[in-house]
């Protein structure tokens, strides 16, 4: 008999979506979330307030029937607005086909919408202030601690889904039960969030439909819009060295750094110094696990617990949501036989998790550095031109990640090939007019198979 009861550890973005999907499928779902109910308490500032939602995430939310509630929370972003030092702002669209947009969304509001949807099912039990402190896979139990009272308890599960994020309390037991191991590769850059408030009339003080970037080669500042007219600004900067979080030790150092590097942004951040020292500094890392499922076929890692990645492609949540959609597809395929679903899920999703981890690391260099280069901009123009001429063959790498559901490992492989071709085709040209576009089109046709010939999952 397939299990009818599912235990989810972690009611964050992925866990709450999963609970909605599985309860609508007829499962009795019990969620244990260590934090208090975020619909009742205010979330402290400074921890990735807003996120970019893209096609993969939207597809999963649509499957769960949640888009009507999510849509009012979304602010479309059509491209990046570059703030190069001493130059006027420059807009660069992300895509060129209709609907190729990404969306800024508030993390707490999105999470709240999903928790509320989960709560409407009488077969779902949400337990807040309930921290998982350990798991016994052979006895099929998890240990819990009530965060307010400190009281311990034990919960017996039939099927365990661990969506408790990058510092998962369950990961070690699941990976080791399969004889494997996992690693966290820490980035040598940290991040700090700041608030760029709305203007006096509640207006946006920067273009509201762009993701703003201040690339400064070794580091960068970005800003995403919020519904109230403010922007959440994030500084990504080295831990050590000059400049770094370690070197910005007092208000005058922070003031001087922003005044010299981000003068336009600084004018719009009234509480810069207070927020810089008041808000936490976040660390960034990549988690890779050799296994995601227990050999017993009744415990699985999903979302950041399985594949935390750095945020530079805006895909961590999107990839986690895609995990949920893929799980449903496999449940259909295997008629709810979880012991068949889990190994196939791991075999399909793990290489994709590793691929998006690599793509995200690469994109940090693109965002903070390459976007400033003339050759990068010309390759982007040529990529769009080739997509117009060969829409079934050439899709720019960014578009494959953000606007399609092409498996990440296919994106990575094709992206590398395309990059090589673009490098060759651009050569020493300084404008599109200097490139023989008919010859370029033939070269691409000869070297790149149609997208339809690639694996779909
Ligand atoms: C600065 C920054 C910017 C980002 N921007 C984007 C973006 O633009 N687009 C995008 O797609 N992704 C982005 N991400 C990534 C995204 O935040 C994560 O991929 C996403 O939150 C993963 O969801 P999750 O549910 O797996 O984990 P989490 O969101 O971390 O949720 C885990 C949940 O489990 C709970 N929990 C943890 N431990 C326990 C325990 N022991 N017991 C019980 N509960 C527990 C936590 O309280 C939390 O609610 C960004 C990340 C950062 C840091």
pLDDT band at 234 (very low <50, low <70, confident <90, very high): very high
Mean pLDDT of 355-379: 94
356 C-alpha to ligand 1 centroid (Å): 16
Asked if the model's pLDDT at residue 48 lies above 70, the reply is no
204 C-alpha to ligand 1 centroid (Å): 27
DSSP one-letter string for 2-40: ---EEEEE--SHHHHHHHHHHHHTT-EEEEE-SS--TTT
CB 51 within 8 A of CB 107: yes
Mean pLDDT of 163-176: 98
52 C-alpha to ligand 1 centroid (Å): 13
> Which ligand 1 atom lies nearest to the CA of residue 302?
26
Atom 37, ligand 1: which residue's CA is nearest?
Answer: 164
The percent of residues in the chain predicted with pLDDT above 90, rounded, is 96
Asked if the model's pLDDT at residue 148 lies above 90, the reply is yes
Give the pLDDT of residue 209: 98
Give the pLDDT of residue 457: 73
Give the pLDDT of residue 455: 86
- Assess whether 288 and 257 both reside in one domain: no
How distant, in Å, are the alpha carbons of 33, 80, 97, 102, 136 from that of 213? 34, 7, 23, 15, 46
Mean pLDDT of 155-178: 98
Asked if the model's pLDDT at residue 353 lies above 90, the reply is yes
Average pLDDT in the chain:
96
- Assess whether 124 and 53 both reside in one domain: yes
Does any domain span residue 88? Answer: no
Atom 29, ligand 1: which residue's CA is nearest?
Answer: 12
Does any domain span residue 87? Answer: no
163 C-alpha to ligand 1 centroid (Å): 9
Mean pLDDT of 221-245: 98
Mean pLDDT of 392-411: 98
Q: Which of 10, 60, 143, 310 to mutate to test the pocket of ligand 1 (most atoms within 8 A of CB)?
A: 10
Atom 4, ligand 1: which residue's CA is nearest?
Answer: 311
207 C-alpha to ligand 1 centroid (Å): 27
Does any domain span residue 401? Answer: yes
Domain finish residue from 347, 364, 381 = 364
Number of other residues whose CB lies within 10 A of the CB of residue 38? 19
Q: Which of 11, 16, 46, 48 to mutate to test the pocket of ligand 1 (most atoms within 8 A of CB)?
A: 48
| Terminal Cα-to-Cα distance of the chain (whole angstroms) | 28
Report the alpha-carbon distance of residue 342 to residue 325 in Å, rounded: 14
Give the pLDDT of residue 47: 63
Q: Which of 70, 191, 304 to mutate to test the pocket of ligand 1 (most atoms within 8 A of CB)?
A: 304
Does any domain span residue 66? Answer: yes
Closest by CA position to 352, among listed 396, 313, 322: 322
Asked if the model's pLDDT at residue 338 lies above 70, the reply is yes
Mean pLDDT of 440-457: 94
CB 250 within 8 A of CB 408: no
- Assess whether 306 and 428 both reside in one domain: no
CB 115 within 8 A of CB 96: no
Give the pLDDT of residue 441: 98
Please count the structural domains in the chain: 3
Does any domain span residue 147? Answer: yes
- Assess whether 151 and 226 both reside in one domain: no
- Assess whether 35 and 150 both reside in one domain: yes
Mean pLDDT of 11-23: 98
323 C-alpha to ligand 1 centroid (Å): 14
Asked if the model's pLDDT at residue 46 lies above 70, the reply is no
Does any domain span residue 89? Answer: no
Asked if the model's pLDDT at residue 114 lies above 60, the reply is yes
Give the pLDDT of residue 449: 96
Within 6 A (CB) of ligand 1 lie: 9-15, 32-35, 48, 51-52, 131-132, 163-165, 169, 191, 234, 282, 303-305, 311, 314-318, 320
Give the pLDDT of residue 364: 93
- Assess whether 358 and 384 both reside in one domain: no
CB-based burial, 286-311: b 16+ in 10 Å, e otherwise: bbbbebbbbeeebbbbbbbbbbbbbb
Mean pLDDT of 284-297: 97
Domain finish residue from 255, 282, 309 = 282
- Assess whether 420 and 302 both reside in one domain: no
pLDDT band at 254 (very low <50, low <70, confident <90, very high): very high
Beginning with the edge strand found earlier in the chain, give each strand of the sheet holding 141-146 in spatial order. Answer: 130-136, 141-146, 152-156
- Assess whether 317 and 390 both reside in one domain: no
Does any domain span residue 90? Answer: no
Return the minimum-mean-pLDDT range out of 2-16, 157-171, 392-406. 2-16
pLDDT band at 456 (very low <50, low <70, confident <90, very high): confident
The percent of residues in the chain predicted with pLDDT above 70, rounded, is 98
For residue range 206-220, list pLDDT tens digits in order: 999 999 999 999 999
Q: Which of 45, 160, 311 to mutate to test the pocket of ligand 1 (most atoms within 8 A of CB)?
A: 311
Q: Which of 12, 133, 315, 319 to mutate to test the pocket of ligand 1 (most atoms within 8 A of CB)?
A: 12
Range of the domain at 299: 5-74+103-185+284-364
Does any domain span residue 83? Answer: no
Asked if the model's pLDDT at residue 223 lies above 80, the reply is yes
Domain finish residue from 364, 384, 418 = 364
- Assess whether 420 and 330 both reside in one domain: no
12 C-alpha to ligand 1 centroid (Å): 6
Asked if the model's pLDDT at residue 45 lies above 70, the reply is no
For residue range 90-110, list pLDDT tens digits in order: 999 999 999 999 999 999 999
- Assess whether 9 and 141 both reside in one domain: yes
- Assess whether 300 and 349 both reside in one domain: yes
- Assess whether 253 and 338 both reside in one domain: no
Q: The tokens of 366 are what?
A: 């693109």
pLDDT band at 3 (very low <50, low <70, confident <90, very high): low
CATH number of the domain encompassing residue 50: 3.50.50.60
Asked if the model's pLDDT at residue 1 lies above 70, the reply is no
pLDDT band at 57 (very low <50, low <70, confident <90, very high): very high
């Amino acid at each position: 008999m397939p299990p009818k009861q599912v235990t989810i550890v972690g009611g964050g973005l992925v866990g709450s979506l999963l609970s909605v999907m599985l309860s609508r499928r007829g499962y009795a779902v019990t969620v244990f979330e260590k934090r208090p109910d975020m619909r009742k308490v205010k979330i402290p500032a400074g921890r990735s307030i807003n996120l970019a939602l893209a096609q993969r995430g939207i597809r999963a939310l649509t499957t769960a029937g949640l888009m009507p509630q999510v849509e009012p929370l979304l602010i479309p972003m059509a491209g990046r607005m570059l703030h190069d030092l001493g130059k006027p702002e420059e807009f660069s669209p992300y895509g060129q086909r209709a609907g190729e947009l990404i969306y800024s969304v508030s993390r707490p509001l999105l999470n709240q919408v999903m928790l509320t949807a989960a709560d409407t099912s009488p077969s779902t039990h949400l337990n807040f202030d309930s921290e998982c402190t350990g798991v016994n896979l052979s006895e099929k139990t998890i240990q819990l601690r009530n965060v307010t009272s400190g009281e311990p308890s034990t919960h017996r599960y039939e099927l365990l889904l661990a969506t408790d994020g990058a510092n998962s309390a369950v990961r070690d037991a699941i990976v080791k039960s399969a004889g494997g191991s996992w690693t966290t590769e820490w980035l040598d850059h940290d991040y700090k969030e700041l608030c760029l408030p709305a203007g006096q009339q509640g207006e946006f003080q920067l273009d509201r439909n762009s993701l703003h970037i201040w690339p400064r080669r070794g580091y960068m500042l970005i800003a995403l819009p919020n519904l109230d007219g403010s922007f959440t600004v994030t500084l990504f900067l080295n831990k050590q060295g000059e400049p770094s979080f370690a070197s910005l030790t007092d208000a005058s150092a922070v003031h001087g750094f922003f005044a010299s590097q981000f003068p336009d942004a600084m004018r719009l951040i009234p509480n810069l110094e207070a927020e810089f020292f008041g808000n936490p500094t976040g660390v960034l890392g990549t988690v890779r696990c050799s296994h995601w499922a227990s050999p017993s076929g009744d415990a699985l890692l999903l979302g950041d617990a399985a594949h935390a990645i750095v945020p530079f492609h805006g895909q961590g949540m999107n990839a986690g949501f895609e995990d949920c959609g893929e799980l449903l597809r496999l449940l259909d395929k295997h008629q709810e036989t979880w012991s068949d679903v889990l190994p196939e899920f791991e075999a399909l999703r793990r290489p994709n998790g590793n691929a998006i981890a690599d793509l995200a690391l690469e994109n940090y260099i693109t965002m903070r550095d390459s976007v400033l280069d003339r050759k990068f901009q010309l390759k982007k123009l040529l990529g769009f031109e080739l997509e117009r001429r060969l829409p079934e063959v050439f899709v720019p790498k960014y578009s494959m990640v953000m606007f399609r559901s092409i498996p990440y490992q296919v994106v990575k492989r094709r992206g590398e090939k395309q990059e090589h071709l673009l490098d060759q085709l651009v050569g020493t040209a300084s404008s599109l007019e200097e490139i023989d576009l008919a010859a370029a089109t033939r070269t691409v046709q000869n070297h790149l198979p149609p997208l339809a010939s690639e694996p779909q999952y």
